[in-house]
Amino acid sequence: MTDSNQAGTPGNAGEAAPAPRFDTLALDAKLLQAVSDQGYTSMTPIQAKAIPVVLAGRDVMGAAQTGTGKTAAFSLPLLQKMLRHENASMSPARHPVRALVLAPTRELADQVAANVLAYAKHTRLRSAVVFGGIDMKPQTLQLKAGAEVLVATPGRLLDHIEAKNCVLNQVEYVVLDEADRMLDIGFLPDLQRILAYLPRQRQTLLFSATFSPEIKRLAQSYLQDPVTVEVARPNATASTVEQHFYSVADDDKRAAVRQVLRQRELAQALVFVNSKLGCARLARSFERDGLRTNALHGDKSQDERLKALDAFKRGEVDVLVATDVAARGLDIADLPAVFNFDVPFNAEDYVHRIGRTGRAGASGLAVTLVSRDDLRGVAEIEKLIKRKIEIEAFELEDDRPRRPRRSADDERRGRDDDRRGRDDERRDRERRSRWEPPPAPVIADPFFDRPYEPAAADTPAWELAHAAMSAAPAAHRPGSANIRARRKTPALLGGNG
């Protein structure tokens, strides 16, 4: 089941009144037939409350738990209102964009587009989806052909607007899916640029599972006299999800996940981490442990992300390690468990993460592994969901291979060997502490050992050499015969005397 297919899920079992049926709404037979083709006839609480308000033309701020069919709550009434523009013309000018649905992630945009296509299959209304990570050319051809409903991520939509591939001056309806994420500081600049291209007169719908007071105040600037639709306490988690917070050291978290999978006999699990690098590393570690594992994070191409998600939905993957790109809106049928390997940075992300399990009234398990550094994050979650969180001690089984137990003789011999080893080490330390470097060898040299003896002659050696040169015959003197001997000059005058 997809998120839109939750349309036929009945309300809470504790309700005395039966869930209202779709055929009680003022919907066209073509749309009712599309819903019936999915096998559903009854509405969920969010659908029963939101659809009439949207049909009445009011702006809506809808808050409901994940997995309750919010996609159908806005797509069905918008398709109904656009049926007046339905035509069989092949001209793109006859199929301008009239409804714009903005989603924060590529996976959610693709899923919403599939839901809209399923609801509009009996009509002549066209739909298109654009998101990043893939080539723009096929998307450009789709936009040039015309589409009344456009589902997009903000960044790629701005690329197409700047390339003049789509015009938004006839948009009548705007939907912000997972509105709390769309209005945070990361998406807000792109969102403001997109809204500047839209007509001022439009109907705006905001849907999310969580709305902080700050986001609510910000949303008021984009809505005109909105109707707030809440079918559960804001930021509440589904009652069908069994939640546990286990105290586990960082180095033991991977072993704890394996142990819970084994003890609970879980066929599949979605494991959330906070970083892309940690996602890739953890996936490789689970793969070495023998689990069929895949990773889903923002550094992967869109084709790789869609293939990983599709393989997980088909049951070909045991553990899908993901960042928060998989936390919002994605619907995975009968997912038994979600693990928060890392406590999320934002408390709101906790509600969205565990909302991937326990959908459409089914039961689910949510396990959060808490280390000493995560206590502040747990306190923020506790404040958001307004529920006391008990952190349970987790007894980790040591599944490492053990050596066979040794006999008493082996134990005694081992102790003797240890004692001898310690004695040898002590003796070595004592020997090293007493060691002194040997003295340098002494080499006797009679010439250098002899005391100083002054020369016998008092006449300087240079005068003796000069006298010998003067006494020698001219023929035997070195150099030319015409060179006379130097006369002595007083030293005070710069001479050598």
CB 45 within 8 Å of CB 229: no
d(CA 367, CA 13): 25
Q: Angle, nearest 10°, between helix axes 136-145 and 154-162?
A: 70
Picking from 75, 142, 138, 132, the residue whose alpha carbon sits closest to that of residue 105 is 132
pLDDT at 4: 40
Contacts 24+ apart (CB under 8 A), 280-287: 282/254, 282/321, 282/341, 283/319, 283/321, 285/254, 286/254, 286/257, 286/319, 286/321
pLDDT at 99: 96
d(CA 144, CA 91): 10
- The three-state secondary structure class of 408 is helix
Using a 10 angstrom Cβ sphere, with 0-12 exposed, 13-18 middle and 19 or more buried, the burial of residue 207 is buried
pLDDT at 334: 79
Residue type, 242: E
Answer yes or no: is pLDDT of 34 > 60.
yes
pLDDT at 63: 83
Phi and psi angles of residue 34, each rounded to the nearest 5 degrees, phi first: -65, -40
pLDDT, tens digit, for every residue of 43-84?
Answer: 888 899 999 999 999 999 888 776 678 889 999 999 999 999
Residues 6+ apart with CB under 8 A from 163: 136, 140
Check residues 349 and 77 and name the one with the higher pLDDT. 77
CB 4 within 8 Å of CB 72: yes
Q: Assign residue 43 a region: left if phi > 0, alpha if psi is -120 to 50, beta otherwise?
A: beta
d(CA 175, CA 388): 34
pLDDT, tens digit, for every residue of 281-340?
Answer: 999 999 999 999 999 988 888 788 888 888 998 889 999 999 988 887 677 777 889 999
Answer yes or no: is pLDDT of 353 > 70.
yes
Answer yes or no: is pLDDT of 14 > 50.
no
Answer yes or no: is pLDDT of 194 > 60.
yes
- The three-state secondary structure class of 412 is helix
Average pLDDT, the chain: 82
d(CA 483, CA 120): 125
Buried b (16+ CB within 10 A) or exposed e, 320-359: bbbbbbbbbbbbbeebbbbbbbbbbebbbbbbbbbbbbbb
**Structure tokens, 139:** 């998307």
**Which single residue is written with the structure tokens 């003049």?**
164
Residue type, 174: V
pLDDT, tens digit, for every residue of 235-284?
Answer: 667 777 889 999 999 999 999 999 999 999 998 999 999 988 899 999 99
Report the pLDDT averaged over residues 432-446. 65
Could you tell me the sign of the dihedral formed by the alpha carbons of 77, 78, 83, 87, in that order?
Answer: negative
Q: Angle, nearest 10°, between helix axes 375-385 and 347-354?
A: 70
Distances (CA, A) of 451 to 446, 447, 448, 454: 10, 9, 8, 10
Q: How does DSSP assign 422-466, residue by residue?
A: HHHHHHHHHHHHH--PPPPPP---HHHHSPP---S--S-HHHHHH
pLDDT, tens digit, for every residue of 138-172?
Answer: 999 999 999 999 999 999 999 999 999 999 999 99
pLDDT at 357: 85
**Structure tokens, 392:** 């349970």
Domains of the chain: 4-230 (3.40.50.300), 241-393 (3.40.50.300), 457-473+484-497 (no CATH)
CB 173 within 8 Å of CB 98: yes
Lowest-pLDDT choice from 21-35, 100-114, 271-285, 385-399: 385-399
- Displacement of CA 424 from its chain's centroid (Å): 54
Q: How would residue 16 be classed by pLDDT, with cut points 50, 70 and 90?
A: very low
Picking from 78, 97, 75, the residue whose alpha carbon sits closest to that of residue 142 is 97
Check residues 187 and 434 and name the one with the higher pLDDT. 187
Check residues 224 and 185 and name the one with the higher pLDDT. 224
CB 80 within 8 Å of CB 28: yes
